[in-house]
Amino acid sequence: MKNLLFVRCVVMDNASQIHNRIAYLREQLNSHNYHYYVLDSPQISDSEYDMLMRELKELEDEYPQFISPDSPTQRVGATPLEAFGVVEHPVPLLSLSNAFSNDELMSWHKRALNLLDGQTFDMVCELKMDGLAVALTYIDGALVTGATRGDGSRGENVTENLRTVRSIPLSLRGDAPPRFEVRGEVFLPLDGFNRLNDARAKEGQPLFANPRNAAAGSLRQLDPRMTAQRPLDIYIYALGWSEGKSMPPTHQETLEYLKTLGFKISPYNALCQTIEDAIQYRSDFEEKRESLPFEADGVVVKVNSLELQSRLGSVARDPRWAIACKFAPVQATTQLKQIEINVGRTGTLNPVAILEPVKVGGVTIQHATLHNEDYVKLKDLRIGDTVIVQRAGDVIPKVIAPVPGKRAGKETVFKMPTRCPVCGAEVIRPEGEALHRCTNASCPAQALEKLKHFVSRGAMDIEGIGQKLVEALFEAGLVKNISDFYYLRTEQLLTLEKMANKSVSNALDSITASKEQTLARLVFALGIPHVGSETAELLVNTFSNMDRLANATEEELIAIPSVGPKIAESITAFFRQRENQEIIHRLKEAGVSMEQAVSQPSERPLAEQTFVLTGKMESLSRLDAEARVKSLGGSVSSSVSKNTAYVVAGIDPGSKLEKANKLGIPTLNEQEFIELLTL
Ligand code: IVH
């Protein structure tokens, strides 16, 4: 039957019939996707699905004018992204404060009750999935933008990658608001995570420490085809903002409504009337967490009524109407087989525990850092010991303690080597420092670690160059310092073992793509001692290009909050070194971006204009109105002053309108306000 349809369709010559057929297939496939990925209840077999998909692909190949962005064929972006642009979040993505015990959860509840003058409230309890937050914007029923949380106000534009997540609808069912944003957690189920790491282990690629890192790494792929291969999933947990349609009054009903539009909502959510019920929910799931198909690091308790939520408001970035209660970390015992030394990029000797592989909370652990010699001594860890290891969600696994009762007498005490295990140079422990260091500034281990750091996910994120390839390039003498990556040629890469045309072009493509990485990543990737990714962000916010940063004085650097004399000295010393100047020059010559990207002013027509809203509006909720102003670059204040650009007066405006008239501030009625917003 499907074949017949296919044959009949390709012989049609009427463009509008083709168009209709394409629209029909698109709708069918989107609907099957929904049943398969969101409802987990497929309605057709995989091969029938493949047939429909094939037919659609063939028609679209022949009639590319009919391809639309919501077509299921467009989930896998065809071309690699140059780099991620910045998305300004019209309404910031908040974070959550934590309760570490039931008492703290009770205190949170009590405080909320007090703030609401004793008014009781329902709560929605949800699992806290361990992935990463994203915001998805839909216009006229189609996904237009998907962004990471970033710093809450500005995230990365990862739309093309999010399009590959099957449980994210590209087009919506039901009656959706014309413009709105939903938020949720993208995560990698444990099954997919373990398969991914197994495959990476086989290819000698570094393993992801946990599903959250793997999800984040997958979403930040420069090539959406790579993301498409990772079985990412999503649960939507909030409406960010919406326009043009009134929304339900509670969180629970909002989620129910979003479900009708085709979004995947966690089936584990529960409505609780009392805080005791919420405590029970937490302890139930703490017990069940091992059997969940994904990693959850706690539960989130949210006030159900949206009106009470807005009365409770937020303190800084943490809402008072929600709280996270983390689960206790998970532990396991295993054997400490060996303690190896890893020489870091600044020459530090870091002891690493080599463990008998063990599963902790669904994740296999085989290494754990032991920090320094004192840590090993303090814990009295001996090689051969049975040890307790612990993972707590996003935290790197830790060796907590030995189990002395299990000692057989053959365990050996660890000793820090006196010579660098890589170059043989003398090892010292500078006065007052916890770390031992190799004294040879040109120790190959340091040079190699600098290169590995440069390409790593948190730095330039050069996906096509794994750690093993960095080692091979370094050993072959093809890359001696970070700038050499940008001068690699196909024929050089082909001389390396296991490198064929495809892997070479992957590597070169991702090197090229990395030229557009943000300046903050580049500054972090340089490996300046004491400059981590957060400091790099701060530096770039002050000095918006590399030259300005390189010429900054120690005084100018210290003026930045949280940059102290030690960091400032390290930065100026780095840029003073001729070798480093040469490296930066070569990066520049190769076209590596040295400027901080700025958002387009044209997208912010209300920039620097403050609005005050008073009275009720008919077509827009207060939150929606605020979100819209913010999305256009404006801000909203609760009081009128001479700096107010406009006072917007709805039905029954309060004294703010009078004050505006007194101060001569322009006022807008609802209609005028909406016209201004749609300019
Ligand atoms: S609500 C104000 N609900 O936890 C509300 N967050 O620390 C903020 N998360 O960035 C988010 N599961 O990535 C919410 N059911 C859930 C969640 C959840 C995971 C993450 C989210 C957020 C972080 C907050």
Q: What is the pLDDT of residues 192-222, one digit of tens each?
A: 998 888 887 777 666 776 788 889 889 988 7
Angle (nearest 5°) at CA 83 between 77 and 87 = 95
pLDDT in tens, 249-294: 999 999 999 999 999 999 999 999 999 999 999 999 998 888 899 9
Confidence of residue 392 (pLDDT cuts 50, 70, 90): low
With beta carbons less than 8 A apart as the criterion, state whether 103 and 203 touch: no
> Where are the strands (E) in 439-574, listed by range?
none
Helix (H, G, I), strand (E, B) or coil at 38: helix
Whole-number Å distance, alpha carbon 442 to ligand 1 midpoint, is 45
pLDDT in tens, 501-524: 989 999 999 999 999 999 999 999
Among 252, 255, 300, 303, which is best to mutate for testing ligand 1, by the most ligand atoms less than 8 A from CB? 300
The CA-to-CA distance between both ends of the chain, in Å, stands at 50
Which residue ranges does the chain devote to CATH 3.40.50.10190?
601-677
Helix (H, G, I), strand (E, B) or coil at 452: helix
DSSP 598: -
**CA dihedral angle for residue 85, residue 88, residue 92, residue 96, rounded to 10 degrees:** 10
DSSP 421: T
With beta carbons less than 8 A apart as the criterion, state whether 613 and 661 touch: no
Q: 601 pLDDT exceeds 60?
A: no
pLDDT of residue 249: 97
Q: 601-677 maps to which CATH number?
A: 3.40.50.10190
What single letter denotes the amino acid at residue 668?
L
Whole-number Å distance, alpha carbon 106 to ligand 1 midpoint, is 20
With beta carbons less than 8 A apart as the criterion, state whether 87 and 145 touch: yes
| Mean per-residue pLDDT of the chain | 88
Question: Which residue's alpha carbon is nearest to atom 6 within ligand 1?
Answer: 128
What lies within 8 Å, CB to CB, of 493 at 6+ separation is 478, 499, 504, 507, 508
CATH topology of domain 15-74: Helix Hairpins (1.10.287)
Whole-number Å distance, alpha carbon 133 to ligand 1 midpoint, is 7
Q: What number of CA atoms fall less than 13 Å from residue 208's CA on the CB side?
A: 24
Q: How far is CA 620 from CA 179, 311, 344, 627, 648, in A?
A: 12, 18, 56, 11, 12
Rounded Cα–Cα distance for residues 554 and 543 (Å) = 13
Atom number in ligand 1 closest to CA 93: 8
Phi/psi at 298 (nearest 5 deg)?
165, -165
What lies within 8 Å, CB to CB, of 451 at 6+ separation is 470, 473, 474, 479, 481, 482, 485
pLDDT of residue 93: 93
Question: Which residue's alpha carbon is nearest to atom 9 within ligand 1?
Answer: 128
Q: Give the containing element (helix H, strand E) for 519.
A: helix 519-525
Paired sense of beta strands 386-391 and 398-402, if any: antiparallel
Question: Which residue's alpha carbon is nearest to atom 2 within ligand 1?
Answer: 94
pLDDT of residue 124: 98
Among 95, 125, 268, 321, which is best to mutate for testing ligand 1, by the most ligand atoms less than 8 A from CB? 95
Helix (H, G, I), strand (E, B) or coil at 265: coil
Rounded Cα–Cα distance for residues 580 and 562 (Å) = 24
Which residue ranges does the chain devote to CATH 1.10.287.610?
15-74
Question: What DSSP string describes 108-136?
Answer: HHHHHHHHTTT----EEEEEEESSEEEEE
Atom number in ligand 1 closest to CA 94: 2
Rounded Cα–Cα distance for residues 417 and 426 (Å) = 9
Among 94, 96, 266, 394, which is best to mutate for testing ligand 1, by the most ligand atoms less than 8 A from CB? 96
The residues assigned a catalytic role are 128
Whole-number Å distance, alpha carbon 678 to ligand 1 midpoint, is 31
Angle (nearest 5°) at CA 639 between 633 and 641 = 85
Residues with CB under 6 A from ligand 1: 94-96, 126, 128-129, 132-133, 149, 185, 237-238, 300, 319, 322, 324
Rounded Cα–Cα distance for residues 505 and 464 (Å) = 9
Question: Which residue's alpha carbon is nearest to atom 18 within ligand 1?
Answer: 128
Confidence of residue 40 (pLDDT cuts 50, 70, 90): low
pLDDT of residue 164: 94
CATH 3.30.470.30 for domain 86-326: yes
Atom number in ligand 1 closest to CA 319: 2
Confidence of residue 4 (pLDDT cuts 50, 70, 90): very low
Quick one: tokens of 380? 């009295």
Question: Which residue's alpha carbon is nearest to atom 1 within ligand 1?
Answer: 237
Q: How far is CA 131 from CA 52, 153, 233, in A?
A: 32, 19, 10
Q: 79 pLDDT exceeds 90?
A: no
Whole-number Å distance, alpha carbon 128 to ligand 1 midpoint, is 6
Whole-number Å distance, alpha carbon 238 to ligand 1 midpoint, is 9
What lies within 8 Å, CB to CB, of 572 at 6+ separation is 552, 553, 554, 557
With beta carbons less than 8 A apart as the criterion, state whether 169 and 34 touch: yes
CA 643 to chain centre: 36
Which residue ranges does the chain devote to CATH 2.40.50.140?
331-437
Question: Which residue's alpha carbon is nearest to atom 13 within ligand 1?
Answer: 133
- What secondary structure, in 3-state letters, does 284-315 show? HHHHHHHHCCCCEEEEEEEECEHHHHHHHCEE
**CATH architecture label of 331-437:** Beta Barrel (2.40)
Minimum mean pLDDT among 411-425, 584-598, 639-653: which range? 639-653
pLDDT in tens, 569-596: 999 999 999 999 999 999 999 999 998 8
Whole-number Å distance, alpha carbon 131 to ligand 1 midpoint, is 9
Rounded Cα–Cα distance for residues 655 and 10 (Å) = 67
Neighbours of 207 (CB within 10 A): 17
**CA dihedral angle for residue 191, residue 195, residue 198, residue 199, rounded to 10 degrees:** -170
Quick one: tokens of 23? 């629209």
Atom number in ligand 1 closest to CA 127: 15
Global confidence as pTM: 0.56
Which residue ranges does the chain devote to CATH 3.30.470.30?
86-326
What lies within 8 Å, CB to CB, of 123 at 6+ separation is 271, 272, 273, 275, 277, 278, 301, 302, 303, 304
Quick one: tokens of 45? 């077999």
Class of domain 444-589: mainly alpha
